[in-house]
Amino acid sequence: MNPACRPVVPLALSRSPASLPYLSLGMVVAFLRKESAAGRLPGYQVSQVRLAGVKGLPVNAAYKDLEKLERPVVLLSSYVWNHELNMQAASEIKRRNAGATLIVGGPEIPKWPGESERFLAENPAIDVAVLGEGEVACAELLAGLAVDSGASDGLATVAGIVFRSGERILRGPDRQRVKHLDQLPSPYLAGEFDRWIEDVPMATLETNRGCPYGCTYCDWGSATLQKVSRFDLQRVVGEVDYLARHRMGEIFIADA
């Protein structure tokens, strides 16, 4: 890793051997790498998704690795099955490395005004919460963070986040959904999971995003009330072929 660059470490934590590979983190990382290659994220070096827990690196070893890094940016994605573990991990990482910046997103992060701010207040180790789709939001918030100091002064205009600014918790403007999904690279086809994809029994796959309904019990319905956007068919076919070649036992379809 280039010591002149601030490390960005996406960390997928799980206690379950049946854990799904973390497509959401892979999507974010693949987009960050694309932006970095285009010169839009100078000063950062983005790692591949690190799997820690039953099937990956021992969790304590992951903590020790992060402890050695200079001001790492750690990305976490929270779902119902790993949210508690993520919050425990965030506290432990911050305890071991006070210079770390913790960014968390995913369906378990409350999106409504007041609730998002309360979430940050109740979880002091978290520096930024991403609300909704994370790919473009993460790229913009990294660009807004001062690489040298980690200061959050440049985050006020970043849409779709809630963040700490000193003692205050601030909310950015609402973010529009990504309209052209194929601007987001496939983490499977980009090789983001190659190091450990065969160590897990099930993969997650998206063929589209969005839902025209508004069911309040559903992550998709309560978040969109908009038309469905689709990934290119050849991309989806390529991802299925990739998973077949890596002997994936099951595919979990994440469409609404």
113-135, pLDDT tens digit by residue? 999 999 999 999 999 999 989 99
What is the residue-level pLDDT of the chain in tens, covering all 256 positions? 555 789 999 999 887 766 666 899 999 999 999 999 999 999 999 999 988 876 667 888 888 999 999 999 999 999 888 899 999 999 999 999 999 999 999 989 998 899 999 999 999 999 999 998 999 999 999 999 865 555 566 898 899 999 999 889 999 999 998 989 999 999 999 999 998 888 788 899 999 998 888 777 776 666 556 788 999 999 999 999 999 999 998 999 988 8
- Alpha-carbon torsion, ordered 83, 187, 184, 23, to 10 deg: -20
Chain-centre distance of CA 150, in angstroms?
Answer: 19
Residues forming beta bridges with residue 77, ordered by sequence position? 105
Number of residues in the chain:
256
Q: The tokens of 186 are what? A: 């496939």
Helix, strand or coil, per DSSP, at residue 174: coil
Residues forming beta bridges with residue 9, ordered by sequence position? 74
47-96, pLDDT tens digit by residue? 999 888 766 678 888 889 999 999 999 999 998 888 999 999 999 999 99
What pLDDT was estimated at residue 152?
63
Cα–Cα distance list, 32 to 26, 135, 141 (Å): 10, 7, 11
Residue 52's φ and ψ, nearest 5 degrees, are: -130, 135
**Both ends of the chain: CA-CA distance in Å?**
38
